Amino acid sequence: MEKTSSYLNNTTPWDDLHEECGVFGIYDFDGNDVASTIYYGLFALQHRGQESAGIAVSSTKDKNIKVTSHKGMGLVNEVFNREILEPMKGDLGVGHVRYSTAGSSTRENAQPLVLNYVKGTLALAHNGNLINANELRKELARSGAIFQTTIDSEVIAYHIARERLKTDTVQDAVREACKKIKGAYSLVISSPRKLIGARDPYGFKPLCIGKRDNAYIITSETCALDTVGATFVRDVLPGEVVTITPDGISSDTSMCLPKCNEARCIFEYIYFARCDSRIDGVSVYESRLRAGRFLAQDTPVEADIVTGVPESGNAAALGYSMESGIPYEPAFVKNTYVGRTFIKPKQSSRESSVQVKLNVLREAVAGKRVVMIDDSIVRGTTSDRIVKMLREAGATEVHVRISSPPFLWPCYFGTDIPEREQLIAYNHSIEDIRKIIGADTLGYLELDRLSQLAPGLNICQGCFTGKYPMEPPKEDIRGEYFDKEIDMAKKENN
């Protein structure tokens, strides 16, 4: 194995991609308490955020509606227990799991946000990232707003509350607020007697509707519906605001764009979403199988086994195996009890953060040529260690295949793809990357294959091409300036 370059030595040892959040809302028209259902829904969405979790519930039967909420840092089952959930009475509620791509990782930034204002109380959960949050925050601050958090979700909540003073209904206020915000958002909001869902006009982040008995649910993924025994009704359309009351579902599609302008995040299908979910009519599992098949067609290699890096690499590895005829064999054991909140080993420690999460089955790889499928390479640090682990377990060759194209640009819409200088593909050729990670060969998914992963849907390819569906910000929510990157993108795209 070749020596690791100084590029790896100077970067963070953690190389995972992270999603912004998962949301879950429910309104039970029979008056049953919903806190435990929200808990299990969030448990199913845990993969979308592992920094914090929260639930807010209220009873629509009470004359003076009061929201009861609890949130904290950690996994869902660390934040909640029976003693906390049982006193949370109410037939309407929202829940949230978070990974921060904007705003610091603190309890104050955990969601749902609960806002008391002159028209009542709102509880809001948000998945996504706004690109004009700083601008809107400054406007609100100049008019007297006092912020309790550093997240863009609070900007949305303030605008909804302000618009509610000028509109006839809370759903109208949500629609008017959404006209002011730019970027990616899937929202679940509870007002005193309504459950509201809203999705940005591009459809960056998923949002769907389900039904269980006489209760309706709005959530990020269909896997959460399955977990709580609900049936899928439909996806919330990009640009749609849906309102659920005992009278049924009403819809406002006035913000919807032509389908050709929609831009769903392709990484929902490659990595973020759970494999058993369907998003906008497309099976995540089938998308990953297709990616593996395309890799086998476009970058074939002779080998003895194909294996995937859990979890998102497994289905793509199976697709590669089915197309190539090379046997699929699980070669990694994943510690499922390790979340993103675990205490990472210090660099001086002998424990590897990668090996805490994964271990190699020596019996599966010893003496064999291995094709290893993973979903992405961001900085290259994790890939380097996994290839090394396979070699130390006795693999004679390691051929790495990636079920996405190389990252060349940052993401502004809720995925923590960093600035270009931190992306290994930005200033390294594929051959350079192969040497850096120590693989025998390296192949990425071809760019023109991306649209085939989600047939019939327009997708965002900004992190691969620099061509974003909307003008990217000059300043992100953390105050980092990207003028140079934007100018470079414009020059390369002209």
**Cα-based distances in Å from 127 to 200, 312, 419:** 10, 20, 21
The active-site residue out of 21, 178, 223, 411 is 21
End-to-end CA distance of the chain: 41
Q: φ and ψ at 371, to 5 degrees?
A: -100, 120
Using CA atoms, how far apart are residues 351 and 353, in angstroms rounded to an integer? 6
Q: How many residues does the chain have?
A: 494
H/E stretch holding 430 reads helix 430-437
Q: How many CB atoms lie within 10 A of CB 210?
A: 22
> Which amino acid, one-letter code, is at 367?
G
Examine the residue annotation and report whether 21 is marked as an active-site residue of this protein.
yes
For 31, what's the count of Cα atoms within 13 Å in the CB-facing half-sphere? 3
Closest to 133 in 3D by CA, of 482, 480, 477? 477
Sign for the CA dihedral angle at 436, 439, 441, 442 comes to negative
With H, G, I as helix, E, B as strand and everything else as coil, classify residue 475.
strand
Strand-by-strand arrangement of the 397-402 sheet: 305-308, 369-374, 397-402, 441-444
CB 279 within 8 A of CB 293: no
Q: What is the largest CA-CA distance in the chain?
A: 71
Indicate if the alpha-carbon torsion angle 435, 440, 444, 446 is positive or negative. positive
| Nearest one of 25, 465, 464, 484 to 236, comparing CA atoms | 25
Contact 246, 320 (CB under 8 A): no
**At a CB cut-off of 8 Å and minimum separation 6, what does 228 contact?**
37, 40, 41, 44, 212, 217
- Whether the CB-CB separation of 418 and 478 falls below 8 Å is answered with no
Catalytic residues: 21
